[in-house]
Copies of this chain bind each other. A is one copy, B any other.
Amino acid sequence: MAEPAGPGAAGGGHAGNGQAAVGGVRTTAPLDVTTWSCPVPLRDSPTVQMGHGGGGQMSGELVEHLFRPAFGAVGELTDSAVLEVGDARVAFSTDSFVVRPLFFPGGSIGDLAVNGTVNDLAMSGAWPLALSTAFIVEEGMAVADLGRVATALGAAARAAEVPLVTGDTKVVDAGHGDQVFVNTAGVGLVRPGVDVRPGRARPGDVVIVSGDIGRHGVAVLSCREGLEFGTAVESDTAPLHRLVAAMLDAVPAAAAGAGGAVHTLRDPTRGGVAAALNEIARTAGVGVELVERQLPVPAAVADACSLLGLDPLYVANEGLLVALVPPEHAEEVLAAMVARPEAAGARVVGVVVDRHPGMVVARTGLGGTRVVDLPAGEQLPRIC
């Protein structure tokens, strides 16, 4: 995993320095680096740590060793389940959102709540049909602020053209919440003949990312810590179901074969591209090789990560997907992607291999190879 940003990384030298500009970074508030990343997580702690919510190894261990035995679950506990309902296959997914601040450059908790669940459904090859919303509001929150969150959520749902059909509101006493937490669940319809899941990844598959890496995490961090980087970084939050539909349409069913030409889709949110590819590699029992210089990392994201000691591969994205496509169809799928505004910067960044199953590696610019491990906890708490 990436190293936590220590006091030496950036903040120690100018804590309390309200308007310092160092190395292209402008601070508008005293820096407090202790909140930038979790302490090294205590994996055998008797209490819940922030890292248990980070989407990395600790999250996985909580699912494997606590939730799975408790639930008596036998199958995969995936981001999105597919149910047989009559003749239809219905995708079903849920996510809670606890991001701070509620509004950040490029989006809000309302955008994440809609787009996050829409994207979880889309990553199963499903077209989203409806969303539920459930608000847990802290007593004393300004009604106007709650209204802004609800308005942003409604606008995101209209932009995605997915109706909000059912909901719930609970209020907890002041001091036992944090303004508002939002849960969305969604149902979607998986198109006939399509089978998109991590288990379909095969050696030889081309790894495509749909655009810039790391924007969401850096946008939230910069806002939260009062940093301004040379160029403003905005969250990439966006619904990806139309992009996925275009990708599935790119290769005719007859040519694509059983299950379709897109083998695997994942939206690399918490834990970033690294966590998404590690989970695919482990589930499918394959290796993944990335080419570092192919990764589309915007200059402002690269600068911020370099300064803060973060690795862009581990930073959360909210409008990005990773696709695994067999080489014979990669060109058609990539062409369909770049034709859409959500994926104008799509490109091939690696390949699936039969070597080192379960492991992701990156070829560095110097010709070496480094292991891109599953992060233990999380670099940036409460990023979504």
- Residues of chain A whose beta carbon lies under 8 Å from any beta carbon of chain B: 45-54, 59, 62-63, 66-67, 70-73, 75, 77-81, 83, 85-88, 90, 92-98, 129-130, 132-144, 146-147, 150-151, 153-154, 157-158, 164-173, 175-178, 181, 183, 185, 187, 189, 381-382
Contacts and interface: CB of A to CB of B under 8 A. Distances in A.
Given A70-B154, A71-B153, A92-B130, A140 B47 contact: yes
A206 B382 CA distance: 51
A168 B94 contact: yes
A58 to B, nearest CB: 9
Given A48-B137, A170-B96, A87 B90 contact: no
B140 A94 contact: no
A77 B48 CA distance: 35
Contact of A98 (B51, B147, B157, B172): B172
Given A77-B166, A382-B173, A187 B130 contact: no
Contact of A48 (B47, B139, B168, B187): B139
25 contacts: A47-B143, A48-B138, A51-B171, A54-B171, A66-B150, A71-B153, A71-B154, A71-B157, A72-B157, A85-B90, A85-B187, A87-B88, A90-B90, A92-B165, A92-B166, A94-B132, A94-B133, A94-B185, A95-B168, A96-B170, A96-B183, A97-B170, A172-B178, A173-B381, A175-B175
A140 B51 CA distance: 11
B85 A134 contact: no
A170 B98 contact: yes
A167 B79 CA distance: 7
Nearest to A137: B48
A153 B67 CA distance: 10
A17 to B, nearest CB: 25
B93 A139 contact: no
A146 B93 CA distance: 22
A176 B302 CA distance: 32
Contacts of A151: 70
Nearest to A66: B147
A116 to B, nearest CB: 9
Contact of A59 (B87, B169, B172, B185): B169
A169 B292 CA distance: 31
Contact of A169 (B62, B85, B185): B62
A52 B171 contact: yes
Given A48-B146, A141-B47, A143-B45, A85 B129 contact: yes
Contact of A178 (B62, B168, B176, B185): B176
A110 B332 CA distance: 48
B129 A83 contact: yes
A86 B83 contact: no
Contacts of A66: 143, 146-147, 150
A97 B171 CA distance: 10
A46 B94 contact: no
A94 B146 contact: no
Given A67-B150, A130-B92, A136-B136, A53 B169 contact: yes
Given A85-B129, A92-B130, A132-B93, A53 B185 contact: no
A169 B52 contact: yes
Given A134-B96, A181-B136, A80 B166 contact: yes
Nearest to A135: B96
A115 to B, nearest CB: 15
